[in-house]
Amino acid sequence: MKVLIREEEIHEGISKLAQQLHQHYGDSPLTVVAIMTGSLVMLADLIRRLEMPVRISLIAASSYRGGMTSGEIEIDDSRMLDIRGRDVLLIDDIFDTGKTLVEVTARLRKLKPKSIKTAVFLNKRGKSTVNESPDYSVFDIPNAFVVGYGLDYQDLYRNLPYVGVLEESDLKQHSPH
Ligand code: 5GP
Ligand code: MG
């Protein structure tokens, strides 16, 4: 595994994002909507640095079906909090083609929040197929398949405290046996 972003750099980056959010929202209450499962680690780190009143809501979206190829996006918002009239920050692990964030944002707009901003942990430069871009991104990365800090390959590696690029030797099939 080649390390792309070290643990210390990640923590500095997340602190900087929290500062930017304080500048923008001040003491106003914020509803953080996190796209599962990839943004789980970012969510846990970010909310502990936020000082305004924070509500947390989870939403599930899947596009990459376990492997490395993109498929249709499935959204499960059955456990969403009421966000009508609220300031919402939607967070995701990575902005790749941008489809996930655009589709989830559109879904949330129907719930009539006061505002929606988007923050991603990683922004893959040059791959976006949509006009929108995230309001905040912690790191820009080149076009490589990365894992760690919430991001998986076949549901593994999410627990790595750093971001790594998978190498040939990591790519063998993982079987439970
Ligand atoms: P988008 O809809 O922007 O193309 O894709 C976003 C989703 O694709 C992310 O939430 C993530 O699940 C997955 N994805 C995109 N690029 C990568 C990557 O380099 N590594 C991993 N592990 N997932 C990725
Ligand atoms: Mg994801």
Residue 158 lies in a domain: yes
| Structural domain count, the chain | 1
Token couple for 137? 């991104």
What's the confidence (pLDDT) of residue 74? 86
In the prediction, which pLDDT does 50 show?
A: 98
- Is 133 inside a domain boundary? yes
Best probe residue, ligand 1, of 94, 107, 127 (max atoms within 8 Å of C-beta): 94
Beta-carbon neighbour count of residue 66 at 10 Å?
12
Question: What's the pLDDT score for residue 131?
Answer: 85
Query: Of 96, 140, 152, 170, which one is the catalytic site residue?
Result: 96
What are the tokens at 45? 């780190």
pLDDT of 168: 80
Q: Which residues of the chain fall below pLDDT 50?
A: none
The whole-number pLDDT of residue 125 equals 85
Kindly state the helix (H) or strand (E) to which residue 104 belongs, with its residue range: helix 99-109
96 annotated active-site: yes
Which domain covers residue 25, as residue numbers? 2-172
- What is the b/e burial string over 98-110, where b = at least 16 CB atoms within 10 angstroms of the residue's CB? bbbbbbbbeebee
According to the model, what pLDDT value does residue 26 have?
A: 98
Instruction: Let me know if residue 177 belongs to a domain.
Output: no
Helix axis angle, 7-25 relative to 40-47, nearest 10°?
60
Distance from Cα 26 to the centre of ligand 1, integer Å: 31
130, two tokens = 């949509």
Ligand minimally distant from the alpha carbon of residue 101:
1
**What one-character DSSP code corresponds to residue 170?**
G
Atom of ligand 1 nearest to the CA of 157: 22
What per-residue string of b and e applies to 118-148 under the rule 16 or more CB within 10 Å gives b? bbbbbbbeeebeeeeebebbbbebeeeebbb
The predicted pLDDT at position 39 comes to 97
Residue indicated by tokens 């930017």: 20
Residue 34 counted as domain residue: yes
In the prediction, which pLDDT does 65 show?
53
The contacts of residue 72 (CB under 8 Å, 6+ apart) are: 63
Has residue 9 been placed in a domain? yes
The model's pLDDT over 156-174, given as tens digits with 9 standing for 90+, comes to 999 999 999 988 888 776 6
Chain segment 71-90, per-residue pLDDT in tens? 578 899 998 999 999 999 99
163 forms beta bridges with: 5
Q: Domain holding 121: CATH number? A: 3.40.50.2020
Beta bridge mates, 116: 88
Residues with CB under 6 A from ligand 1: 38, 63-64, 70, 92-100, 145-147, 151-153
CA of 141 to the centre of ligand 2 (A): 16
DSSP 152: -
Would you give the DSSP letter of residue 13?
H
Count of positions (residues) in the chain:
177
